Structure formats: C-alpha cells, structure tokens
Chain A
C-alpha cells in the first residue's frame, strides 16, 4: 500500500510539473469564475447598471424571504402537462407515471420563498462549468501514458518490478483522483464566486424554487451537492475513457482529439427520442458527457429509469452507471498498458 501511495505521489508530481497542465488549470479556473459574474459587467449585456439592478433585486427578494408562495396551481398544471407528454411518448410507463405522481405529491407544501440567486446562478452556469472541467481533464491526463513512450521511460518502467502491477494501478488511480480533484476544485471555485457575488441565501430553500419541475424533495444545497456528485461520476467515467485511449493510442494528440469529439458528442448527435430504448440510450450517452444543455434538468429529470420494475431517479442511476462504467474502463486501460510492448 505504501509503495502504491509513493508511486501515486510521483504520478501526481509528473502531472503538476507539466507547464501545460498548470496553464490549463489556471485558464479553467479563470473561466469558471469569470462566467459566474460576467453578465454583470458593462458591455456583456445590453442592459445598463446590471450590478445595481442585481443589488436592488436581492434587497427586494430578501424582504420577501419566508413568505408562502401561493401560485402553486401553475406548478401542478405544468407537472400534469409534462407527465402526460412523457406518458404519451412512451418514455414513462403507466406504473412509472404513478411513481412520479407519488414523488410529486411527497414534495411538501406550502412552498416558502427564499432568495436563491447565488445557487440559481451557479445552476444556470453549470453546463459551461462542466464543459470546462471535461476539457481541462482531457488535456491534462491525455499524456499520462503517451508521455512514457515519448520519453522512453516506458522501457524502464515495464522492465521494473512494479512496472506491470502497482505502477499501472497508481497511474489509473492518479487519473481518476486528478479528474475528481479538478472537478471539486473548479466546482467549489464556481460556487464560491457565485455565492460571493449573488449572495449565499437560500441554501435550505426547496430545489423547486430553481427547478420547478423537479419531483424530488430536496433543498437547494442538497441539489448542488448531488449535482457535483453527478458531475464527479461523469468525470470519473470520462477520465477512465481518456486514460484507456491514451494507453491504447500512445499519442496525447490523438487522445485529445477523440476526447473533444466525446465532449461535444451529445451536442452533435440528434437522436430520435420517440423510441423508448433509444431515448434511454441517449440519456446514458448524455450522462457521460458534459451535457451542454442543462446538467441540472437532466440530473433532476421527471423521467426515472425503470430497472426490472424498480424506479430509480436519474441522479442515482446515472451516477452509478458512470461510476461502474468508469471502473470498468479503468480496468481495461490497465490491461492495455500491462500488455504493452516496447520496440
């Protein structure tokens, strides 16, 4: 175990010693933080004095905090309409519809208003943030294996005692932990910036204040944690895929190109969603990409996954799917490097 930790330390050191990685991480940090408040800057919006307006809105919302929300009939009408649409398209079975209705009814009422602009802004920008995290991880870990072949160190590694065992495990764990750390670091930075600019109020408000069609009884802060866990699981799957590509292709450039295709895949492919199994498949494809439309909407979607008659919320199923798939891909990457031949 101690040998493994030592080797992981060296792998981390190698990643952080690369100037390119440091530059990518700094740019990513600047981007995810900047985008949180960019709309308030003059020149980024046709409206003037956005900053001043935001302060006024915040003061008004704070004054209304704790009041009941009375217009719930709109919410119920929207829910009924959305569920009917999903049932009609066959994306939710009749039993699934009953389960969704049960969840919906379990959401406590009356709703209490709290200002949630800080969290709301973070949720709104989560698609861009996820895209930046995926890009940073792809560029940083793509050279993990190719670099060994490029420098010629692979020959020394594969001829050493742990070259085909602990080193491989250390590399895979480094890729996974690096991806998770980048995700955590950038998510916390983005959230921190958003809360600092728009206020940290409303952590215990209902998630429905931001995402009215959510059927889950969660607070805003729980929503943020689940969203991060989901992004982390996606990143684990993605990191594993990138490492597998890098072990197989032995070229950082080719790995980055394919990783970019992967990142933008969900946005490029139009899948006819009228056929239920294709719809499910397309959801799983999106579950392992940055989801450039709305990670919040897909994570807390009204449509559950139905597994052998059991209904699982998307944030649980997609998280577990990415996690298990990621571990499977990591094992494949290890197998590829162990069988690598030099010469």
Chain B
C-alpha cells in the first residue's frame, strides 16, 4: 500500500502553488503542516484529481489519480465541506454512497453506522441547513469514510470542532490510520502531534522537512517548537506581542 507523489507541480500564471513535491506515503497517519497559503490545499486537491497538475504524477499502487479505480479507494474531506441544505444528513450520505458506487441498501446501512459512530444519529433525519458547524464537520468526516477508503485525505478537518470533539476526532483518526493511508493537513500542531506517524512541513509550495516525528525532532524539542522554527515569521507571531 503506497501512495507515490512524484515531482508534483501546480503553477498558476505567475505563481507556483506547489513546487515539485515528492512524497511516498504508506499505511499510517501523515500530518501535513504548513501556514495558510503554503500550498497544502492545492496539493491535496491534486491528490484527489480535482486539479490537474502542471507537472508530476500521483499514483496509488501504480493506479494513476485520474482513474476511476483510484477514486474508488479515495476518501476526501475538503476544507470547506459542501452539502445540499435541503437534504437530510442520512439522505446526503446515501446520495454520496451512490456516487461512491455503494449499493442502495449497503449505503443506507453504512450511513446509519457512520452517523452513529460520529454521534449524529439524533439528527440523521434533519435537514443539514439546521446543523451547527461542528455537526457539519462531523458529517463531512462521515462522508469521507463511506466507501471504507484506502486513502483518506482530510483538509483542515478539525476546523469548527469544539475541544471535546477534537479529542474524539483525533482518536478516530488514529484508529483509521491502522489500516489505511491518512493524510491530514492542518496548521494546528496539536491536531497531529500525538497521532501522526509522519509529519511533512510545507512552505511556499515545497516540502521543507518531513519524515518520522521522532527523527524530525532534536533532543527535547516539541513539534510545536519545530513548527515555530520554520514558520514563526510567516505566522506573524510578533503581532500579538
């Protein structure tokens, strides 16, 4: 089980959003850390086939990102989770289940199980437009898991979650990482600190550091300190002094 990203590049007119990124991701949780505008979302969109790269390739076990077989094993939760306001949570999951190639009865069964797992059973029959931000976010996670994906790409998944949900979410991700590739992008270090097996730091479209967490950190250094070392300037830490 290997997801190989080879010199992936995305260039807009006069801006390189992702610059020759090469990564090999295997089973486990991979954190993608970077400041806003570092190119994380663009990289993830290319990994989901939503954006055509200017150069390079993405392949899972030799299957190119543009193929249906690739999308069959993909679960994606975008930064801004889109939904139909007039659909119920259950109806929306069943719809996405059909899009993911699940049979109607199985999609129904799976939707119910995921809604229960993410504590949304009580509101399963309610329209999504009545949901709070955290509930929508949990629904976004549920839809990404519908097809039991081998590659799970989560773009800023903890935005909008309260601290309690955030903790629950982390343990869920850690569990999911045991038998699949999970790539989680965030600019909140604590989201990946305890659960990521590997961390990749992204800045100006490039991976500036990456690898196993314990190897990345020097003696006594925390991930947050490492992050600040690389992104301190770009995050504007002095603004709050």
Interface residue B34 (Cβ < 8 Å from any Cβ of A)? no
- Which has the most chain B C-beta neighbours within 10 Å: A10, A151, A167? A10
Is B41's CB under 8 angstroms from A153's CB? no
Closest beta carbon of chain B to A37's beta carbon, Å: 36
Interface size class of B (residues with CB under 8 A): 20 to 34
Interface string of A288-318 (1 = CB under 8 A from B): 0000000000000000000000000000000
- Which has the most chain A C-beta neighbours within 10 Å: B52, B81, B84? B84
Closest beta carbon of chain B to A250's beta carbon, Å: 14
Interface residue B193 (Cβ < 8 Å from any Cβ of A)? no
Interface residue B147 (Cβ < 8 Å from any Cβ of A)? yes
Closest beta carbon of chain A to B166's beta carbon, Å: 22
Chain B residue contacts of A3, Cβ below 8 A: 98, 101
Chain A residue contacts of B86, Cβ below 8 A: 17
Partner of B71, one of A10, A151, A159: A159
Interface string of A154-170 (1 = CB under 8 A from B): 11111111111101000
Interface residue B231 (Cβ < 8 Å from any Cβ of A)? no
CB closest chain-A residue, reference B80:
A152
- Cα A160 to Cα B143 in complex, Å, equals 10
- Cα A343 to Cα B104 in complex, Å, equals 31
- Cα A93 to Cα B11 in complex, Å, equals 59
- Which has the most chain B C-beta neighbours within 10 Å: A148, A151, A154, A342? A342
Is A152's CB under 8 angstroms from B95's CB? no
User: Given the interface contacts A17-B86, A153-B84, does A159 sit within 8 Å of B49 by beta carbon?
Assistant: yes
- Cα A157 to Cα B42 in complex, Å, equals 17
Is B82's CB under 8 angstroms from A156's CB? yes
User: Given the interface contacts A14-B84, A151-B84, does A160 sit within 8 Å of B71 by beta carbon?
Assistant: yes
Is B82's CB under 8 angstroms from A155's CB? yes
CB closest chain-B residue, reference A153:
B82
Interface residue A7 (Cβ < 8 Å from any Cβ of B)? yes
Chain B residue contacts of A163, Cβ below 8 A: 71, 99
Partner of B83, one of A7, A153, A167: A153
CB closest chain-B residue, reference A6:
B98
User: Given the interface contacts A151-B82, A341-B51, does A160 sit within 8 Å of B100 by beta carbon?
Assistant: yes
Chain B residue contacts of A14, Cβ below 8 A: 84
Chain B residue contacts of A155, Cβ below 8 A: 45, 48, 50, 76, 78, 82
Is A154's CB under 8 angstroms from B82's CB? yes
Is B96's CB under 8 angstroms from A156's CB? yes
- Cα A172 to Cα B23 in complex, Å, equals 38
Is B76's CB under 8 angstroms from A159's CB? yes
* Chain A contacts with B in 315-343, Cβ cutoff 8 A: 341-343
CB closest chain-A residue, reference B144:
A156
Chain A residue contacts of B85, Cβ below 8 A: 151
- Which has the most chain B C-beta neighbours within 10 Å: A154, A162, A165? A162
Is A162's CB under 8 angstroms from B101's CB? yes
Is B98's CB under 8 angstroms from A10's CB? yes
Is A165's CB under 8 angstroms from B82's CB? no
Chain A residue contacts of B82, Cβ below 8 A: 148, 151-156
Interface residue B68 (Cβ < 8 Å from any Cβ of A)? yes
Is B51's CB under 8 angstroms from A343's CB? yes
Interface string of B98-125 (1 = CB under 8 A from A): 1111001000000000000000000000
CB closest chain-A residue, reference B65:
A159
Closest beta carbon of chain A to B97's beta carbon, Å: 9
* Interface residues of A, Cβ cutoff 8 Å to B: 3, 6-7, 10, 14, 17, 148, 151-165, 167, 341-343
* Interface residues of B, Cβ cutoff 8 Å to A: 41-42, 45, 48-52, 68, 71-72, 74, 76, 78, 80-86, 95-96, 98-101, 104, 143, 147
Nearest 5 pairs of A and B residues by beta carbon: A152-B82, A160-B99, A153-B82, A159-B48, A342-B50
Given contacts A156-B81, A161-B68, A341-B51, 8 further A-B contacts (CB under 8 A): A17-B84, A151-B84, A152-B78, A161-B72, A161-B100, A161-B147, A162-B98, A162-B101
